Structure 1
Amino acid sequence: METTIQPLDGSPSGPNPYAPYRSDEPVSVKSWLITLVILMIPIVNIVMLFVWAFGDSANLNRKHFSRAYLLWALIGIAFYLVLFAIFGAVMISALSEMPV
């Protein structure tokens, strides 16, 4: 009969069998192609980007790619909002100067 010694705080000793899987292996070409096809599907692409960017089980390469992709999307949205505000201000100014 084998006995195991538990630490005093009650936590199990040894590696955690329930630790999330995290792969640091390079992503294969096939996996990248599947990733890019998934990113072409509306709504699913946004959900999967967040899952890959902030999930524990995503490949490290895909995690960094997703975070960079989301950052570029955020920069693009901010750029278009600034552009829209400038265009709106110009249009309001032009319309207010028009004779009725």
Structure 2
Amino acid sequence: MNPVETEQTAGYSNNVTPKTATDMSVGEWIITMLIMIIPIVNLVMLFIWGFGNPDPRRNYARASLIWMAISIGLIIIFYGVIFAFIFSLNSY
């Protein structure tokens, strides 16, 4: 029996989960963050991680893409309002 099984059989409620192969180390996350710094490459890698083979970064990639889409939508609305305001002043 491994230690997790012995604690569970003894009646202790220990929420210890063993580390699986899909967990990422700190070094792997540092490399991921370095990739996110590079323009265009970050967007391509987010799509690969988010919609490619199962990857531990899948939820991070999908959340980042959602935030990018929200940001782009807000920027378009903001500049649309600014341009509409500028063009409405020129009509006088």
Measured against the shorter chain, the TM-score band is 0.7 to 0.9
Indicate the RMSD between aligned Cα atoms, in angstroms.
1.5
Q: Partners of 2:68 and 2:80 in 1: how far apart?
A: 18
Q: Partners of 1:41 and 1:30 in 2: how far apart?
A: 18
The yes-or-no answer on 1:50 pairing with 2:47 is yes
Q: For CA contacts below 8 A with separation 6 or more, give which structure has more relative contact order.
A: 1
Residues 24 and 89 (structure 1), Cα distance of their counterparts in 2 relative to 1, 3 Å cut: farther
1:17-66 CA distances to partner (integer Å, 9 max, x unpaired)? xxxxxx8732211111000000111111111000000011422xx10000
Which residue does the alignment assign to 2:70? 75
Query: Alignment partner of 1:96: what SS?
Result: coil
Among all aligned residue pairs of Structure 1 and Structure 2, give the percentage whose two residues are the same amino acid.
38
Aligned length, in residue pairs: 73
Considering only CA atoms, is the larger Rg found in Structure 1 or Structure 2? Answer: 1
The yes-or-no answer on 1:41 pairing with 2:50 is no
Structure 2: any 5+ residue segments left out of the alignment?
1-19
1:71, distance to aligned residue in structure 2 (A):
0.3
Question: Is the helix fraction higher in 1 or 2?
Answer: 2
Structure-2-length-normalised TM-score? 0.74
The yes-or-no answer on 1:28 pairing with 2:25 is yes
Letter of the aligned partner of 2:58 in structure 1?
Answer: K
* Equivalent pair of 2:22/2:55 in contact (CA under 8 Å): no
- Give runs of ≥4 in structure 1 deviating > 6 Å: none
